[in-house]
Chain A
């Protein structure tokens, strides 16, 4: 009889962390989709409307599963996703806020741009980080960030 091995005790932490992070990212992505749609006239009417079964809530279901899977596959990939996701989030927020200011010229537009931009940056960073982390570590010895400090000398 064949048995199906479950996650080892050492994997439980990354799986939970990946699932939780995926839920947060999924919720944020869903929010950004609604914000983007509202900018083009398709407004939301209440939170209840936002959480009814509709295509926009798909990220809430998909990303936690993807996050948990990533945690189970590779702790390194999960960490890299988190790091690059954070970088993408910050960069996307700044860029999105700037674009929002230029395009819509009001406070709501700045917020909308920042939310949509940060979500796009977050997802892009996560995908890049996961790809990087899932690769063969031995073939990718490049550190995540490199820093050269000139020490001077004669």
Chain B
């Protein structure tokens, strides 16, 4: 049979019929996921500035945002300026960019045609810390690496992408904007920063672990995590990473068999989707992290990640798991959230989170969305708040998750 013989009007008509049938089958049964509803009443009032000692703002997955068009970045910048002006102490305002700072594949080489776009996306986030008060008060930007910053790859190629990003941040730093990539390219961390006498921030590169094939390197990483936890003493520890400890978003839930035509199960079972919490590598990461928390006897106050493109506040589930798990990955993309038992709050809306450290020792969490439902200009709005740590001298001094 000649292939040329296939090309006839009759057969073309059949091919057309096949195509129509295929499209009908392919798109049947697709339905959008729904987000759970929450009571948005605020439990904590916005603090008067003179009661605040330090502020840590948390935003992730902002790598598709541009300064000109992103209300999230502009809202963040306004908040950085607000606090930098009012807190009379240097380095009291910190912004943690929780990875996936540059979509789709990190910062490519200068010779690449996409370098200008990549660098513009990164500098849009650097701009958050470029205001006059932020510069004057040395407001600090911690940039963490996400899987997209690694170029969605592994090994030396991924580390090279991180080096490109670090070089741009170093240049901004030299220009007077206090930013940097933490941990350094190719290093898993943890990098430690004590933002207050009793608060330690630990930054780790979770993608390093997910792509690392060397058992000895992984073991050394967890030894360092344990050491950093033990040396924290009585400080509260806040762990920052790109990948969350838990999530009710697409990366965190077992996929129902009917979703994604059933291929999700096969991909997860064969370890092809390492970025999901239930993949073998990710599961190992969480188990060994829990073990480190248990050995140190000091589970973190909060584990903060991005990766899923929503705002989530979740309970820690185990005796030594983090008291609170936060997902703040709605910097430039959005994904759905499902209702789960450990979910305290969730919003699949663009925005960020704030940890407010008060002078009286209290630690408060605020969730801010920057969304517009009626086409009007989006403005930041606090949609959720709660006290993570009560003041030490309060009648019922507690840490959220330990009986508080």
A-B contact pairs, 18 of them (CB 8 A): A2-B9, A4-B13, A11-B14, A20-B21, A23-B22, A34-B267, A35-B267, A38-B270, A41-B154, A41-B211, A43-B211, A47-B264, A50-B260, A68-B14, A68-B21, A72-B18, A108-B271, A112-B272
Chain B: residues with Cβ within 8 Å of the partner, total of 42
| Mask of A1-18 contacts with B, CB within 8 angstroms, 1/0 | 010111100010001101
B153 within 8 A of A: yes
- B272/A34 in contact, CB under 8 A: yes
Interface of A is mostly: helix
Other A-B pairs beyond A51-B260, A64-B19, A72-B18, 16, CB < 8 Å: A4-B9, A6-B14, A6-B17, A7-B17, A18-B18, A19-B25, A23-B22, A27-B263, A31-B263, A38-B274, A43-B152, A44-B272, A68-B21, A108-B269, A109-B271, A134-B1
- B10/A68 in contact, CB under 8 A: no
| Mask of B147-174 contacts with A, CB within 8 angstroms, 1/0 | 1100011110000000000000000000
- A43/B273 in contact, CB under 8 A: yes
B244 to chain A, nearest CB (A): 14
- B25/A23 in contact, CB under 8 A: yes
Q: Name the 10 nearest CB pairs between A and B, nearest first.
A: A68-B18, A108-B271, A64-B22, A38-B272, A19-B21, A112-B270, A45-B275, A111-B270, A72-B14, A31-B263
| Mask of A87-104 contacts with B, CB within 8 angstroms, 1/0 | 000000000000000000
- A15/B17 in contact, CB under 8 A: yes
Given A4-B10, A7-B17, A134-B1: A44 and B22 interface contact (C-beta under 8 Å): no
A48 CA to B13 CA, complexed, in Å: 33
- B21/A45 in contact, CB under 8 A: no
Which B residues from 264 to 287 make CB contacts under 8 A with A? 264, 266-267, 269-276, 280
- A108/B280 in contact, CB under 8 A: yes
What is the interface of chain B, defined by CB distance below 8 A to chain A? 1, 9-15, 17-19, 21-22, 25-26, 147-148, 152-155, 210-211, 250-251, 255, 259-261, 263-264, 266-267, 269-276, 280
A111 CA to B268 CA, complexed, in Å: 10
B199 to chain A, nearest CB (A): 32
B42 to chain A, nearest CB (A): 33
CB-nearest residue of chain A to B23:
A64
Given A19-B25, A23-B25, A47-B250: A69 and B18 interface contact (C-beta under 8 Å): yes
A56 CA to B5 CA, complexed, in Å: 29
- A67/B18 in contact, CB under 8 A: yes
A47 CA to B22 CA, complexed, in Å: 20
B334 to chain A, nearest CB (A): 12
Chain A residues whose C-beta falls within 8 Å of the C-beta of B10 in the assembled complex = 4-5
Chain B residues whose C-beta falls within 8 Å of the C-beta of A35 in the assembled complex = 266-267, 270, 272
Partner of A65, one of B22, B266, B271: B22
